[in-house]
Amino acid sequence: MTGNNRGKDPVPFYKQLKDKIMDDIESGKVKPGDKLPSERELADQYGISRMTARHTLSILEREGVVERRVGAGTFIANQRIEMNFITFNSFTKSMLGRGLNPSTQLLSVYKDQARTRLANLLKIPVGEDVIVIKRLRLANQIPVAIEESCIPYRYCSGIESFMMNDVSLYQILEEQYGITLVKAREYMQITFSDETESKLLRIKTESPCFLLEAVALDKDEREIEFSKSITRSDLVKFYSEPRLKR
């Protein structure tokens, strides 16, 4: 793997191999699910060391481009789902808008009392009853995110009787309680999945994930819902289209 780098810093072999694999993916030469050559085969094919080939595959794995399966080899990972970080929308609408089949598995629903942080976020007294709804979000039957929603119970008394698989929480709030959520304050950071989350999402323990926290408001500017979601970083990428202020 060589190139004309005269007058430039030489491009490391691992970077050249990575760029070659990325070019093959973007051109459609290799597709999600395709198996890549082994470290030995890559080393022989491109005249590099096995250590360099291993380093390249490790970087691609960390970036979610490939996945390694014990005893099977290295495969091109599924194409990532793009989600707009700016537009406030339901998971179902977001997936349908991308031609995917969304589904929801209800994990638990129960009443709890708001602790200090949650009470501050929702502008309610500490100790007030909230309903906690935990759900697993899937796209084309593949687990994408675990989402937990907390809502003051006074806004949605009896909502637990409406919650089941593949039911829209926002639709229930609108149709049963006259609450329409119109905007949200969202925060995102990187986290690592614990053992329980990893089993639900079908990923390795301590895999990097997106942690999203949001407070959703209704048309009267009331803080209605605090949500927290753990989203697979190997399946999802967030984007935005900010406008430059002049």
Question: Could you give the dihedral angle defined by the CA atoms of residues 60, 61, 66 and 70, in that order, rounded to the nearest 10 degrees?
Answer: 140
Query: How far apart, in whole angstroms, are the C-alpha atoms of residue 115 and residue 105?
Result: 26
Q: Which two tokens stand for residue 242?
A: 């900010």
More confident residue, 163 or 235: 163
pLDDT at residue number 89: 58
Q: Enumerate the β-bridge partners of residue 187.
A: 213
**What backbone torsions phi and psi does residue 120 show, to the nearest 5 degrees?**
-65, -40
Question: How far is residue 46 from each of residues 18, 43, 189, 237, measured CA to CA in Å?
Answer: 12, 6, 38, 31
Average pLDDT taken over every residue of the chain: 88
Residue 165 is predicted with a pLDDT of 96
Q: Which one, of 129, 151, 138, lies nearest residue 107 by Cα?
A: 138
Q: What is the pLDDT of residue 71?
A: 85
Q: 74 in helix, strand or coil? A: strand
pTM for this entry? 0.72
pLDDT in tens, 80-98: 777 765 555 567 666 666 6
Looking at the predicted structure, is the pLDDT value of residue 13 above 80?
A: yes
- What's residue 2's pLDDT? 60
Give me the pLDDT at residue 93, please. 66
d(CA 28, CA 111): 49
91 within 8 A of 145, measured Cβ to Cβ: yes
Q: How far apart are CA 219 and CA 227, in angstroms?
A: 18
Q: What would the pLDDT profile of 222-244 be if each residue is shown by its tens digit?
A: 999 999 999 998 888 777 766 66
Higher pLDDT, 10 or 108: 108
**Mean pLDDT, to the nearest integer, of 206-228?**
95
Window from 61-65, 102-106, 118-122, 212-216 with minimum mean pLDDT: 61-65
pLDDT at 26: 86
pLDDT classification of 152: cutoffs 50, 70, 90: very high
Q: Pull the structure tokens for residue 139.
A: 């796209």
Q: Which domains, ranges and CATH numbers included, belong to the chain?
A: 13-76 (1.10.10.10), 81-239 (3.40.1410.10)
Signed CA dihedral, 70, 71, 75, 81: sign only: negative
SS3 (DSSP) at 188:
strand
Residue 165 near residue 171 (C-beta atoms within 8 A): no
Q: What does the pLDDT read at residue 63?
A: 78
Q: Give residues with Cβ within 8 angstroms of 35, minimum separation 6.
A: 72, 73, 74, 75
Per-residue confidence (pLDDT) for residue 61, from 0 to 100: 86
